[in-house]
């Protein structure tokens, strides 16, 4: 039996377990990336492990999320990360150099290699045939220290692409079409692999748009073959030597196959407030637009912005629209500046932002009240834009640009003939915003620069024999990490200060939660399906940990969040019978009478509702390793105990 692309990479990197779906496997990690919003914590954790120099082939720290610098906090964090990088052997991509995933794809990613990143959109690297996975900061810290990264061996999904996109239909429309079929939880426990004749028609940045937004499927990762197109891209980036060919065997076996005929696709939008709430632009056409934002790690490549510039050239942004554009990297920005396209964007009235995440993570450009905002981004969760009643639609750069000049939702196919825009034979290569680590002989003399906002990792404790704690919060389905630990300009600067950031935990759902949980001392959160979808931010586990949350009992979990809970020593429990969800109310006193024994023996978990007198059963799906982590009180304690 042949192998899929992902299975080939997994096989090459397997350090423990077997490639049996549903079982725990350990992977050797070649590359890591961090961004600043998760990075400070990851490096605090790395320091706590006491390993002088990273053991990966390449580790890069990017500064792209917290670049507003509304106070000293962000700048202090940047300096801290820069000093850690210098000392411990990590490359440092300075603020202004661009969004981590875009820059990593351009400058560092390599086909066939494994990459984990403390950001859920790390699968962008799948666009050049990497096995690139989003993880919690602590997992990345462990991988930098040479430890394996553990996942549950996923199922394999093949998306078979046939045909060719029509003019003005875009890679974004492909992934939106896949989201329509699979939904935001359809990818959980799966790797999505693209194949078929249609693959050849897509450039690397287009492939990366698709693998990037595979995160919204809940998939472990997504991957494209590495082929001639990949080689040309790497050559144009001056690193043809990084190329290796990679494709699935003809007799590879997939658990699921999805057919997408590119010729039949039309421009689509993900409507408020979920990336899988898909409509065609035709259905929305004519509705007024208030804001358009172009950028983010999904759609800010040279190709994307050249298409936007082509559409905007000689035109004017409609009076009712505010158009903001953030190029994905310094490379893209600089090339647009040199070839005149930037002038076309400025002349049309675009508000040019720095190369960073910006509005995608609520750092500025919040829309007006009830504002309709068309964004080329990947997430439109309620409130994420910074405007609670903002209506965010996720669209392609082509749809965004044409709608910005028309002032209403407009199908870009009205532009007629396709524009002849190709990738350059040579990108502008200038890595002067990447700072190399200090040579080994100098690293001892590098001083770590710590600002006053940087606080320690919260206290953990080993699993106790029993737990008695009340239900401090009850929430419904599809709770995102933006609900649990919101971001935005006010809160992001607190990412290295768990005591302070905890005061914002779950406040979008219930503003009294932090105070209540703190007063209770110990508590349990109850939730529905797909709990913790979205970001890889471990703060969504660390803030509850700090507030005394001992267990989260839900119908189902999103992958990264579940492992962040385990890493933080919080019990991830699922109802055996989902109907039992109705048997617990906010404030009920719950008891897990034999929890340690039940976890140790991998038996069902008994949950007694002392308020109602009812007993229900829950599962705690753990591998031998994650069981040991939970018993130890989290990954940090486990790593210390075992090193």
Give 156's strand partners.
191
Q: Is 625 in the site for ligand SF4 (CB under 6 A)?
A: no
List helix spans (H) across 108-203. Answer: 137-144, 171-182
Considering CB distances under 5 to 8 angstroms, the limit depending on partner class, which of ligand MIC, ligand SF4, none binds residue 38?
Answer: ligand MIC
Beta strands in 204-290 (DSSP E): 221-223, 256-261, 268-270, 278-280
Q: Is 159 in the site for ligand MIC (CB under 6 A)?
A: no
Q: Is 99 in the site for ligand SF4 (CB under 6 A)?
A: yes
State which of residues 77, 119, 304, 482 lies at the interface with ligand SF4 (CB under 6 A): 119
Q: Is 119 in the site for ligand MIC (CB under 6 A)?
A: yes
Q: Is 559 in the site for ligand MIC (CB under 6 A)?
A: no
Quote the least distance from Cβ 111 to ligand SF4, whole Å: 22
Quote the least distance from Cβ 538 to ligand MIC, whole Å: 9
Place of tokens 């979008």: 508
> How far apart are the C-alpha atoms of 357 and 336, rounded to whole Å?
18
How far are the Cα atoms of 216, 446, 505, 641 from residue 456, in angstroms, in the given order? 31, 21, 18, 19
Element (H, E) at 337: helix 330-339
- Taking the least distance from each CB to ligand SF4, the nearer of 383 and 458 is 383
Tokens of 163: 């045909």
DSSP at 430? -
Considering CB distances under 5 to 8 angstroms, the limit depending on partner class, which of ligand MIC, ligand SF4, none binds residue 537?
Answer: ligand MIC
Footprint on residues 289-328 left by ligand MIC (CB under 6 A): none
Footprint on residues 332-371 left by ligand MIC (CB under 6 A): 361
DSSP at 425? S
- Taking the least distance from each CB to ligand SF4, the nearer of 289 and 357 is 357
- Taking the least distance from each CB to ligand MIC, the nearer of 219 and 252 is 219
Spatial strand order in the sheet of 278-280: 278-280, 268-270, 391-394, 372-375, 291-294, 322-325, 351-352
Most distant CA pair in the chain: distance in Å?
72
Region from 41-49, 155-163, 355-363, 568-576 binding ligand SF4, contact rule CB under 6 A: 355-363
Region from 353-361, 394-402, 518-526, 573-581 binding ligand SF4, contact rule CB under 6 A: 353-361
State which of residues 84, 210, 297, 309 lies at the interface with ligand SF4 (CB under 6 A): 297
- Taking the least distance from each CB to ligand MIC, the nearer of 111 and 134 is 134
- Taking the least distance from each CB to ligand SF4, the nearer of 65 and 207 is 65
Q: Which residues of 334-348 are buried (b: 16+ CB within 10 A; e: fewer)?
A: bbbeeeebbebbeeb
How far are the Cα atoms of 166, 176, 238, 282 from residue 417, in angstroms, in the given order? 10, 23, 32, 18
- CA count, 13 A, side-chain hemisphere, 559: 26
Spatial strand order in the sheet of 149-152: 14-16, 24-27, 149-152
Contacts with ligand SF4 by CB under 6 A: the residue count is 11
Q: Is 223 in the site for ligand SF4 (CB under 6 A)?
A: no
Q: Is 537 in the site for ligand MIC (CB under 6 A)?
A: yes
> How far apart are the C-alpha atoms of 127 and 143, rounded to whole Å?
22
Which residues contact ligand MIC by CB under 6 A? 37-38, 65, 119-121, 134, 361, 379, 487, 534-537
Q: Can you give the binding site for ligand SF4, defined by CB under 6 A?
A: 65, 99, 119, 121, 296-297, 357, 360-361, 377-378
């Amino acid at each position: 039996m042949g192998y899929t692309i992902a299975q080939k990479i997994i096989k090459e990197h397997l350090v423990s377990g077997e490639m049996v779906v549903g079982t725990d496997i350990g992977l050797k990690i070649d590359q890591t990336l961090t961004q600043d919003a998760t990075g400070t914590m990851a490096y605090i954790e790395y320091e706590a492990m006491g390993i002088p120099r990273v053991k990966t082939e390449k580790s890069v720290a990017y500064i792209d999320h917290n670049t507003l610098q509304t106070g000293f906090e962000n700048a202090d964090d940047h300096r801290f990360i820069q000093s850690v990088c210098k000392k411990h052997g990590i490359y440092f991509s300075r603020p202004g150099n661009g969004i981590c995933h875009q820059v990593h794809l351009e400058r560092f990613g390599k086909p066939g290699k494994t990459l984990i990143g403390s950001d859920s959109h790390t699968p962008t690297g799948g666009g050049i045939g990497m096995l690139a996975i989003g993880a919690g900061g602590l997992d990345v810290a462990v991988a930098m220290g040479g430890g394996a990264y553990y996942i549950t061996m996923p199922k394999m999904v093949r998306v078979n692409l046939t045909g060719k996109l029509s003019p003005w239909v875009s890679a974004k429309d492909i992934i939106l079409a896949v989201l329509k079929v699979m939904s935001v939880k359809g990818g959980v426990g799966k790797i999505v692999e693209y194949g078929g004749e249609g693959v050849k028609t897509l450039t690397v940045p287009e492939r990366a748009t698709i693998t990037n937004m595979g995160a919204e499927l809940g998939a472990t990762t997504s991957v494209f073959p590495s082929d001639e197109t990949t080689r040309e891209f790497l050559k144009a980036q001056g690193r043809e030597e990084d190329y290796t060919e990679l494709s699935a065997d003809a007799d590879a076996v997939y658990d699921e196959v999805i057919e997408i005929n590119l010729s039949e696709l039309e421009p689509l939008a993900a409507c408020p407030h979920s990336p899988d709430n898909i409509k065609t632009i035709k259905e929305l056409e004519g509705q007024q637009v208030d804001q358009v934002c172009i950028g983010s790690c999904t759609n800010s490549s040279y190709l994307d912005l050249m298409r936007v510039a082509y559409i905007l050239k000689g035109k004017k942004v409609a009076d009712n629209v505010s158009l903001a554009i953030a190029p994905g990297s310094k490379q893209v920005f600089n090339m647009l500046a040199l070839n005149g396209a930037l002038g076309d964007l400025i002349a049309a009235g675009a508000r040019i932002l720095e190369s960073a995440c910006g509005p995608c993570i609520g750092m500025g450009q919040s829309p007006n009240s009830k504002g309709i905002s068309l964004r080329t981004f990947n997430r439109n969760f309620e409130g994420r834009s910074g405007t609670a009643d903002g209506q965010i639609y996720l669209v392609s750069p082509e749809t965004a640009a044409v709608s910005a000049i028309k002032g209403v939702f407009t199908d870009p196919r009205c532009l007629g003939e396709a524009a002849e825009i190709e990738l350059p034979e040579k990108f502008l290569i200038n890595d002067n915003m990447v700072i190399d680590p200090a040579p080994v002989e100098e690293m001892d003399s590098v001083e770590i620069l710590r600002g006053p906002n940087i606080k320690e990792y919260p206290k953990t404790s080993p699993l106790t024999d029993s737990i008695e704690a009340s239900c401090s919060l009850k929430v419904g389905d599809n709770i995102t990490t933006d609900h649990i630990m919101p971001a935005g300009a006010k809160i992001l600067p607190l990412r290295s200060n768990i005591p302070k950031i905890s005061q914002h935990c779950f406040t979008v759902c219930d503003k009294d939660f932090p105070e209540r949980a703190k007063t209770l001392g110990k508590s349990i959160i109850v939730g529905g399906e797909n709990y913790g979808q979205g970001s890889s931010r471990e703060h969504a586990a660390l803030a509850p940990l700090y507030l005394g949350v001992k267990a989260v009992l839900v119908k189902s979990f999103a992958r990264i969040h579940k492992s962040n809970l385990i890493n933080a020593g919080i019990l991830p429990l699922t109802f055996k019978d989902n109907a039992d969800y109705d048997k617990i109310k906010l404030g009920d006193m719950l008891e897990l009478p034999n929890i340690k024994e039940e976890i140790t023996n991998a038996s069902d978990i008994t949950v007694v509702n002392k308020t109602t007198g009812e007993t229900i059963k829950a599962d705690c799906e753990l591998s031998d390793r994650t069981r040991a982590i939970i018993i130890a009180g989290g990954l940090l304690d486990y790593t210390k105990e075992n090193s």
